[in-house]
Structure 1
Amino acid sequence: MSEKIDAYILIAQQEWELNLGSNARNLAAEISKTKPVIYVNPDINIKSLITRVGTPYGRKRLKLALGIGENTEKIADNLWLHTPQNISSSINFLKNFKLYDILNKRNSRGFFDSLKKAVKNLGWRPENCIVFNDSQMFAGPFVKEFFGPLLSFYYIRDNLVEQAYFKFHGPRIEPITIKAADAIFANSAYLAEYGAKYNSRSQDIGQGCETDIYDAFSEKTEPTDLASIKHPRIGYVGFLTHERLDIQLLEQIAEARKDWQIVLIGPEDPVFEKSRLHEIPNVHFLGSKKTTELPAYMHYMDVCMNPQVINGLTIGNYPRKIDEYLSMGKPTVATETLAMKMFLPHVELAVGLEGYLKAIEKALQPQTHEHKVAAINCAKSHTWEACVEKIFAVQDQLLNEKDPTQPKSLSSL
């Protein structure tokens, strides 16, 4: 057994070029401080290619899929980006399990053949690499067969099997992927428990959050579109989507307490745009804001909230906005779930209208300096460094189990 880890291979759900805030990007950046990392874009299928070929990025993906251009490029110190040199068959619509599995295996072979070539071109060996699979469940069963890494990790940071795209084949295939992995990592207790149903080595490693811009004690100018709204202000900041937020609950809160001003900041999905919330006088939609503007809006709220609807998508969800609210020292109310209990006692948890009314009333009471500082410290402790330390601890333990005569520690790798 080699003691040397050549690189971490981070197989991602999201394309790097999208430049969205994502766990995969954050973890890749943090791991690269210690070990080389290859961030692997998802492969592109025929259907997606057809719909995007008219765009500059679509044409770029086509060329790379055909082997024209550099599929692997260095994008930062110790960090490379690989775009697979293959075009997958579009198979998600298939209901025949046998045919789906045959084509899924073929897709996965093409994906890992491209990745193995990239690893070898960088002078590394697949058997000396660790694969960190960011919920790419359909390729997951073939990591060891087609790539053969030193270790294979599977990361669950959302209950994807409840999403429409994954809902038919996901519940059948993700358990296979989980069982095949050497360890499972999740960003909430709920998802770690789900992983533990199929793999005993399943661990909640928490969630990192970039809270540097959220400073509770710095001076801020009150935004002009917020200044005209009366107090108390009960605010939500983030994407306004009916799949994750309880529109009916928001309507009920606004109508039950007309003296409270419900302030909603963020883009709306079509259901929110057509909702009755727009007709309620004490509900205020302020639209999308730049990330750098959000701390000022939070600062001038009296209470911040996350009124999640409880469903398969949200039950295990870790909302980063809770860390942002707490980093601003704001009294916070959120829907009670297993995942949210990790924030106790710094967050008021509630279920239903009566629960929310009581929790908001309590959150509106004067907050001691000590309570505020404790909440801030809680949020600031949720770092990507802490997440990666837990990953490395499991890595070291597994390597020791493979070769107990060789002590493995992060400093020696």
Structure 2
Amino acid sequence: MSKEVEAYIVIAQQEWELNLGSNARNLAFEFSKTKPVIYVNPAIDLRSIVSQRKSPHYKRRLKLALGFGENTEKIADNLWVHTPATVNYSINWLRNTGIYDFLNRQNAKGFFKSLRKGMKSLNLHPEKCVILNDSQMFTGLFTKKYLKPLLSFYYIRDNLIGHPYFRFHGTRLEPQTIQLADAVFANSAYLAEYASHYNQKSYDIGQGCDLEIFEAENQYTEPEDLSAIPHPRIGYVGFLTGERLDISLLEQLAEAKPEWQIVLIGPEEIMFQESSLHGMKNVHFLGSKKPQQLPVYIYHLDVCMNPQLINELTIGNYPRKIDEYLVMGKPTVATATPAMQMFLPHVHLAVGVQEYIKVIELALLPQETSARNEAIACARSHTWKACTDKIYDTQTHLLEA
């Protein structure tokens, strides 16, 4: 007979208050449709206290960390946010693993002590709760030791150990955290395969997307800053970062096909700001747009693209923008990575400028209605409910075993 789950606890990488689009937030909302959920903010650390001491947000965080205020707040039906009443040691810079491990354990003790107190205030019992650890590979290593939940799941939605911050200690500790989990869930086959080296119960549960505002059959008025740009328009919508996007590829593409207009929509970081793209007549930077404006801009592009670099950060990454492109019925081209294989045959994949030119030329040809409709249906199938249903299936199997 399976055991009853009382609640879900989502141990997150990102603070709820930052209001960034994140898988952990979406999964928390989906879980809350069936059970109470506590979304747990990361603990504040000493370095952040010093560097962000003038920020009103961090002043509030410090008060909560010191125990002044309400650490567990209800923010929606069946959903609470817990901000830990603890201050972490800033230890990522340490190279002595013995000292690091000792202080990491101390950080975890404070974190889980605060979480247990928050759960108690809601009359929740750790041994009846399921944990979803959103790649908190350091503190999360001690989930079972200091919380003792009914089940503890590890969730991977990005190859974080490819990032310099996580690389040194993460390559050592994430495998241990994965091994200790009752199961591991990933949003791509590539990341699930990586996790399976350390835990056989590793599953690709896909990626959910919020596509309610995207409707391919709507007639959207063309924005003024786009109307002056001639066709064909080859566009990218999202954060413009040189860590993940191939600036050189875009430069070569714009130079090789001057009749194509490269339209880049989104905020830029320094590598894009300083690139030669800004001096090219057929490259257009339209800046940041509000989320509700994105369908309008995508609608008026001829081809949408995702010109990713292939590196440790991107190789297993699930680009949610592909679903946004496809659900708008747009011909889509992208860099060929393992995570992109699931979108075939609805996308054109390429590596290098010559292949990109070929697939964009194909994408500019008239679309067949059936192929367009199949692409839209593919995107619509990627829901958060589909993700959590797979988690529930694994959970049921484990509890009945």
Partner of residue 229, structure 2? 229
Partner of residue 29, structure 1? 29
Measured in 2, the distance between the counterparts of 1:205 and 1:125 equals 27
Partner of residue 20, structure 2? 20
Amino acid across the alignment from 2:198: Y
Partner of residue 49, structure 1? 49
Structure 1 residue 177: Cα displacement: 0.3
* Unpaired segments ≥5 residues, structure 2: none
Measured in 2, the distance between the counterparts of 1:286 and 1:188 equals 31
Contact 1:2 1:128 in 2 (8 A): no
Q: Map of 1:73-152 to 2, 5 A cutoff?
A: 73-152=73-152
Measured in 2, the distance between the counterparts of 1:279 and 1:17 equals 38
CA RMSD of aligned residues (A): 0.9
Measured in 2, the distance between the counterparts of 1:56 and 1:230 equals 45
Measured in 1, the distance between the counterparts of 2:257 and 2:59 equals 54
Contact 2:2 2:400 in 1 (8 A): no
Measured in 2, the distance between the counterparts of 1:197 and 1:396 equals 23
Partner of residue 239, structure 2? 239
Q: Deviations over 1:72-99 (max 9, x none)?
A: 1111111111011111111011000000
Contact 2:185 2:203 in 1 (8 A): yes
Partner of residue 346, structure 2? 346
Contact 2:2 2:396 in 1 (8 A): no
Q: Deviations over 1:365-407 (max 9, x none)?
A: 1001111111001001100010000000000000011xxxxxx
Contact 1:184 1:202 in 2 (8 A): yes
Contact 1:178 1:199 in 2 (8 A): yes
Measured in 2, the distance between the counterparts of 1:193 and 1:3 equals 29
Specify whether residues 301 and 2 from structure 1 end up closer, same or farther in structure 2 by C-alpha distance, changes over 3 A only.
Answer: closer
Name the SS of the counterpart of 2:138 in structure 1.
coil
Contact 2:229 2:261 in 1 (8 A): yes
Amino acid across the alignment from 2:170: G
Partner of residue 358, structure 2? 358
Measured in 1, the distance between the counterparts of 2:213 and 2:368 equals 23
More moved, 136-145 vs 304-313? 136-145
Name the SS of the counterpart of 2:236 in structure 1.
strand
Counterpart check, 1:328 vs 2:325: no
Amino acid across the alignment from 1:140: G
Name the SS of the counterpart of 2:198 in structure 1.
coil
Measured in 1, the distance between the counterparts of 2:90 and 2:243 equals 26
Partner of residue 178, structure 1? 178
Measured in 1, the distance between the counterparts of 2:128 and 2:2 equals 7
Aligned sequence identity (%): 64
Partner of residue 161, structure 1? 161
Structure 1 residue 2: Cα displacement: 7.4
Name the SS of the counterpart of 2:374 in structure 1.
helix
Measured in 1, the distance between the counterparts of 2:121 and 2:295 equals 45
Measured in 1, the distance between the counterparts of 2:370 and 2:298 equals 20
Partner of residue 391, structure 1? 391
Amino acid across the alignment from 2:382: H
Contact 1:10 1:38 in 2 (8 A): yes
Contact 2:8 2:37 in 1 (8 A): yes
* Unpaired segments ≥5 residues, structure 1: 402-413
Measured in 2, the distance between the counterparts of 1:248 and 1:46 equals 39
Partner of residue 378, structure 2? 378
Measured in 1, the distance between the counterparts of 2:126 and 2:113 equals 11
Name the SS of the counterpart of 2:10 in structure 1.
strand
Contact 2:2 2:399 in 1 (8 A): no
Structure 1 residue 330: Cα displacement: 0.1
Contact 2:40 2:81 in 1 (8 A): yes
Amino acid across the alignment from 1:265: I
Measured in 2, the distance between the counterparts of 1:212 and 1:141 equals 36
Amino acid across the alignment from 2:175: P
Contact 2:91 2:103 in 1 (8 A): yes
How many residue pairs end up in the alignment?
401
Partner of residue 190, structure 2? 190
Name the SS of the counterpart of 1:192 in structure 2.
helix
Measured in 1, the distance between the counterparts of 2:382 and 2:304 equals 19
Report the TM-score, using the length of structure 1 for normalisation: 0.96
Name the SS of the counterpart of 2:200 in structure 1.
coil
Contact 1:134 1:154 in 2 (8 A): yes
Structure 1 residue 140: Cα displacement: 2.0
Specify whether residues 42 and 321 from structure 1 end up closer, same or farther in structure 2 by C-alpha distance, changes over 3 A only.
Answer: same
Structure 1 residue 55: Cα displacement: 2.0
